[in-house]
Every structure is written in structure tokens, then in C-alpha cells.
Structure 1
């Protein structure tokens, strides 16, 4: 009684119910621990409400795991039995779909899986099944479905871009077609008259063509004679490469000469005048240098501290 609060009645019905519930829970925990230790005594621990709560949660999770493991073992055993039956049927040549045990097992397994799914799980499974059917995948995995959906999105984007380009091209073709139809309508109409100088220009072109055609054999004979006298060059790839290297070397020399000539830019073309202009520039440079030196000396003399006498 020392554990009771001071204001709690000794014969309180609520306390009696709590004590009975705790005793029942401890009995369940003790039985579960005894089954896990197989007759051995479990290690000693403090019996308090927090420990009881933790042990009850652990026992509940362990029982659920045991039930799932039992169901899985039973499903594996049934599947193994059905596989053996199918092997025997395949050996005997019978139709597997006519065996009641196989049909009942398959239907029972599918029914159990369907009833175990949540609403979101059913919706997700239906979506995956529908996607697999539309994509033509017999054994679809989530990663394969995701990759296929990504490929479809990329293809859809490419098709949208191609459709936009085709639409622009179609508008351009429609505009050009309308312009050409208008031009054809004007040309076929009674109001259309060709320019007056068009016939004369046509006759001039025909006359020039005839003159050039009459001169063409003579020009061919001249080209043949010139080719026979001079000889048609037939350079090789190595010769062309050497000529290209020589040309690039000449370009480098030209750039160097341009730089040297740039130094003499602005000088008079006459040699005597150029020398006079150069001498005047030298005098100006010497004057600027003398002025700079004088300013520097004055600055040094002004900033140098003077000693008192």
C-alpha cells in the first residue's frame, strides 16, 4: 500500500480495474517471455508501467511477425505442392488449368493479396497494371515503368516541338501558296499585260545566246591548244601542302613587315622631310624630359627638410 497516492482510496474501483488490467498484461508478457526463452528464466528487469508498455508493444509486433512468417511458410508449402503437382501433370500431359487445387490456390492467393491492400494500394496496383498493359510489358517492374513513362514524356516533348515547327512551316506554305494563287489569278486575268520591253529583251537574249554558241567551238579549240602548249598542271596532295605552308610563311612575314611599317606611320614620304620631322620629335622629347627632371628636382628640394643653423 505504500505505492498508493495519499489521496487514493484503498478500495477504489478504478484502481482495482487498473491493477487487474496490469496484472493481466504482466501475465501475458510473462507467458510470451517464457515461450521465447523455452523454459529458461528471463533476465531480471524493473517492473514498472513504462517497461510493461514497451514489452507489450514488442510482444504485439513479434506476434504479428510470427503470423506473417507462418502465412509465408504456409504459402511456400502450398506453392511447392502445386509446383510438384504441375510437374506431375506436365509429365502426364494433362492441362494444368483443369486441376482444382492449382486454381483454388491461385485464386486464394490473389484474393488474399487483394483484401490485404489499402485503397491507395489498390489504386496504385490498378495504375501499374494499366500502365503495363498499355506499354506492352508482361513482367513490369516499378523502375521499368518509371523509365518508360520518362521516355514517353521526352517523346511527347519532342513531338510537341516538331508539331510547332511543322505549324510554322505550314503557315509559311499557306502564305506563299496564297501569294502565288493571287499572282496566277492576275496573270490569267484579262487585265494583265506583260511589260513592253519584255519582248525586246527576249530577242536580245536569244541573239546573244546564238552569238556565244557560234563562238564556243573556237574558244574550245583555243583552250585545247593552250593546254597542249603550256601543259595542264596536276599537283599532288604533298605539293598542295607545301604550297600552303609556304603561303602561311609568307603571311607571317607580311604581318612582321606590317608591324615594322606601323612604326613609321605618319612620316612624310620624302626622306629629308622625314628626317626633319624625326629631329623635331626628338627635340620635343628632350624638352619634355628636361621639364620632367626640373619638376622632379624642385619637388625633391621642396620636400627635403632643412636643418636649422
Structure 2
């Protein structure tokens, strides 16, 4: 029996292992749930699977089938409830319509002398219109009414609400731009304040906590005041000199815009003449300033030109004679 002890010990450990026990309990619970579902679906028959098919694969498949079947049942129940609710709404609408028709018939039969309440008729029409709207239409109507209430529109229209939205968008963008500029100005002021504080701290640190001006500042201020007084004393004399100069020149110049235009036109004419003369003088560039020497140089250039012309003609004649065919002379 000693050789059977290890085997028995392993079986005992496998049976009393907590993890194995939990897995076995979970599997048994799943099989119990599947068996119960099969008994509900197949009443009066042996719905339990055979023992040889009780394996993990079969259990997994049956659990998936149960989940899909329950989801389908739930969807079918929801659809049935929705159909019942829609049918109830249709019946209620038909009942209200029938009652309204009866009320209208009774009102017509009561005669023309009876007073008709306009507000009640308007409320009835509005109620009928609202009942005839779809869910999306009711949502859109509520949104439009809420928007008109927020914007303060007494008679809202899609065009008016759109224009109001555009106006609000423009105002919002303007406000954002103003806020951006204000933030930039605030940043600039903060930087300027920081620089001022730094300068103040530096000035305080230079003089043991107190600002000490330049010791030569008093002398320079005194010299500047003396220079200002001297210039002020010379100002009447300078004014007299200006007046004397104006009297000597016949008074202050009286120049008009027409005079300036005439002077400008004359200047432009003189400038055009200057350009013409420059072009004409440019042809005589390189000649000596003496007239006789210039004439002699001109005659020398003309002689050289004639010589070159004669040389050109002689060369041309020789070229023609050389290239022309020579005709044989006839014997007498």
C-alpha cells in the first residue's frame, strides 16, 4: 500500500484544491442554467444533453445560444411595447379628432348668434398641429422657441434667427479681438512696469537706498539758464536784422503757386535745350579747344577719309577683276 500513497495524495489535493472547486462550481452553475433554459424551451421532453456531450465546447456553444436567444427575445419585447405605445397614441389621436369634430358640429348647430372663442380655436389648432408633428419636428420647434426666447424675438423666423446669430457672431469676434488687444496692452504695461521697477531698484542700489543725482548737474543747469537768457537778450536784435533785410529786399517775398509753375516750366525748357546742346556738342568730342587746331585736325581727318575711300575703291576694282572670268580674244 505504500506505493499507492503518492497517487492517493495527488487525487486528494486535486479534489480539495480551492481553484478546482471554484471552477467545478462555476461549470455546474452554467450547466444548471442551460438545463433550465432547455426545459423552458422544450416542455415535456428530455431536454438535458446526454452525458457524453457535457464538455466545455458544448457548454460554451449553449451559453452563446442562450445569450443570443435572450437578446432576440428582449428586442422582440421592446418592439412589441413600441407598437403598443404607437397604437395607443393613434387611438388617442383618433379619439381627440372625433371629439373635436363633435365639438365643431355642435358649434355649427348652435347658430350664428352664439359667440365663438377665438383663443380656444387657436389653441385647438396649435394643439392639433403640435400633435401632428413628428418627434424631430417637435424637437426643432422646441429648439426654435427656446432660441427665440433667449434672443428676445417676439415673432421668430429662420431668416431672422440666422441674421441674429450672424450679428452675435460678429460681436463675439469683435469682443475677442478687443480682449486680445487688451491682453497685449496689459502685457506691455506689465513689461514697462517691470522695467521701471528694475530701474528704480538699480537707482536705489547705487546710492545706499537713495537716488543721488550727478554732482555736476547744478553747474550744467546754471550754464543752460545763462545760455537761454543770452539768446533771449539777442532775440530783439535778430528780429531787427530780419526786418531790415526784408525792407532792403522790398518786403517779404510774395510768391504764388502760378509763379512757381511758370518757373518750373521755364526750367524744364532750359533743361531740354541743354540736352539738345549736349547731343550736338558730343559730336565734336576729342577736338582741341583752339579753333585753328581743330580745323587742321578736321582737314587731316578728311584727308585720311579720302585716302581710305580711294584705297577701298581700288581694292574693290582689283577684287572684281580677279573674280571676273577672262574672255579669250578672237584672232583677226
Shorter-chain TM-score bucket reads 0.3 to 0.5
Structure number with bigger Rg = 2
TM-score by length of 2: 0.43
Instruction: With the length of structure 1 as denominator, give the TM-score of the two structures.
Output: 0.46
Structure having greater relative contact order (Cα 8 Å, sep ≥ 6): 1
